[in-house]
Amino acid sequence: MRPMIAVAAAGVCRRYGRRWALTDVSFELPEGALAMVTGRNGSGKTTLLRVLATAIRADRGTVSVLGHDARRDPETVRRNVALLGHRTHLYEPLTALENLAIAARFLRMDARRPALLVRLEQVGLARRADDAVQTFSAGMRQRLALARVLQQEPRIALLDEPYGHLDAPGSLLVDGVLQALKARGATVLMATHLLQRGRALCDRALVLEEGRLVFAGAPASMPEPEGAGAPGAEGP
Amino acid sequence: MRDVLVALRKDLLLQWRGRAQVVAIFTFGAATLLLFSLAIGPDSASLRQHAAGFLWLGLLLASTLSLAEGFEREMEEQALEGLLLLPASARALYFGKAIANCAQLALLGAALVPVTVVLYDAGTTRLLPLGGVILLGTAGLSAPGTLYSAMTAQTRGRHTLLPLLLFPLVVPVLLAAVKATSLLILGDPMGQLRPWASLLAAFAVLHWALGGLLFARVVED
């Protein structure tokens, strides 16, 4: 039996002002896939993830998530998708615990301290649970944002540069999170410049160039985007 | 309803964490009242005559600071977008924030009353009706204020744009609030307070209904 299509994009275009950030992007991801999208800076990776997450709308084309049209039924799409973006979606003056508690209440999940501490332990932040986010380093914010993605228990996780700002243990933590998401059947699409890491972890790859999808297939046969994956950029 | 309470709790917590800013906004409002009183001069009858108008102008000017501040926290790390993607209802987020803004403005208004009494010799013993007028007036300011602060939060000139958009829209609220407050301070021999308060309530209801309807269009792409 063929696996269900988790994410399908057909002819997706998106522009900012007069500049097209995405042009006619079409692909499908089966449920349970662990995929990477790569390309040079400004190639449209972030825009693609934001369109799939319904944070922004496609100007043309259709996006379907688990069979639900993103334009017609964004609520259902959002219930199944979690986005780790460039911005953390966190309230800076609030503590790590308070940020998770707000999300938990909206998600109608357990917002009590022990349940939230479990999430923070997963990302190594339990000791800083009661500290305001504005006192955190960029890496710690990234970990907390990741904890919020995990909190949503998504069927589809869209991760934009999940290794950004992270030290070596943090990068290993992301590896673990990706494997755990895959193990429980979630579909993951991550934007990354870390080609070696992506090739080792992912079973599918997409390559964008100036907003156009130029490759979709197995990571092993993926062309090396010019200027991507600079030596030394990939940690342990 | 549950989501409105969750959003309200979040906004009250954010306001509590930014309480130093509230003190600064109160000081700004009090300074405005002081400057207006200096502009009128020492004529106590004149001061008393204009007290209600200046109280509401002080509150209106101070409100633009607090309203803009509320949405800056939402935009810093796109926290509002994060909630919308959970998904939280845009309407619930609007009402939560508007209620929190209304509470903050009502407290600010209540805190500015003693300042007005001292500077303008404009006391009243009818504290309960005065509280009601302040609540209705701040409700009429906070609903469109929340909507417009969301609209302007991502623009460059937001601190200029917010009052430019907001002030024309709240003129009816301001007029009704000033008239009702004046009647409480100067006396109400013709029993006009109730119709002015009703008008104020009608504007507040209209603004809250429109805000609830339009907010999703403002914050969604």
Spell out the domain ranges in chain B.
2-220
Separation between Cα atoms, residue B57 and residue B168, nearest integer Å: 13
Confidence band for A223, pLDDT divided at 50, 70 and 90: confident
Confidence band for B133, pLDDT divided at 50, 70 and 90: very high
Separation between Cα atoms, residue B64 and residue B13, nearest integer Å: 20
The rounded radius of gyration (Å) of the Cα atoms in chain A is 17
ipTM surpasses 0.95: no
pLDDT digits (tens, 9 = 90+) for A59-117: 999 999 999 999 999 999 999 999 999 999 999 999 999 999 999 999 999 999 999 99
- Strand A60-65 to A68-69 pairing: antiparallel
With an 8 Å Cβ cutoff, are B6 and A83 in contact?
Answer: no
Query: How far away is chain B from the Cα of A196, in angstroms, using its nearest Cα?
Result: 30
Task: Work out the average pLDDT over A157-180.
Answer: 92
Q: Does A81 touch chain B (CB under 8 A)?
A: yes
Res B46: pLDDT: 87
Which tokens belong to A131?
A: 């500290």
With an 8 Å Cβ cutoff, are B77 and A92 in contact?
Answer: yes
Cβ atoms within 10 Å, residue A128: 18
User: Does A140 score more than 60 pLDDT?
Assistant: yes
Phi, psi (5° rounding) for residue A44?
Answer: 110, 10
Res B154: pLDDT: 80
Confidence band for A233, pLDDT divided at 50, 70 and 90: very low
Q: Among residues 149-208 of chain A, which lie with CB inside 8 Å of chain B?
A: 152
Separation between Cα atoms, residue A222 and residue A203, nearest integer Å: 11
- Percent share of chain A, pLDDT over 90: 83
- Chain B residues lying within 8 Å of A107, measured CB to CB: 86
- Chain B residues lying within 8 Å of A152, measured CB to CB: 86
Separation between Cα atoms, residue B41 and residue B185, nearest integer Å: 19
Confidence band for A127, pLDDT divided at 50, 70 and 90: very high
With an 8 Å Cβ cutoff, are A89 and B79 in contact?
Answer: yes
- Percent share of chain A, pLDDT over 70: 94
Contact indicator for B15, B100 with CB cutoff of 8 Å: yes
Q: Return the residue in A81, A84, A106, A135 with the most chain B beta carbons within 10 A, the one to mutate for interface testing.
A: A106
| Nearest CB partner across the interface for B77, out of A57, A87, A102 | A87
Query: How far away is chain B from the Cα of A115, in angstroms, using its nearest Cα?
Result: 18
Longest CA–CA span in chain B (Å) reads: 58
pTM of the entire predicted model: 0.90
Res B70: pLDDT: 83
Res B158: pLDDT: 78
Task: Work out the average pLDDT over A148-154.
Answer: 93
- Chain B residues lying within 8 Å of A75, measured CB to CB: 87
Residues of B with CB under 8 A from a CB of A: 3, 6, 9-10, 13-14, 17-18, 73, 76-79, 81-88, 221
Res A204: pLDDT: 94
Res A151: pLDDT: 93
Across the beta sheet with A187-191, the strand order is A81-84, A156-160, A187-191, A34-39, A204-209, A212-217
Which tokens belong to A214?
A: 């130029």
User: Does A232 score more than 60 pLDDT?
Assistant: no
- Chain B residues lying within 8 Å of A159, measured CB to CB: none
Mean pLDDT of chain A: 91
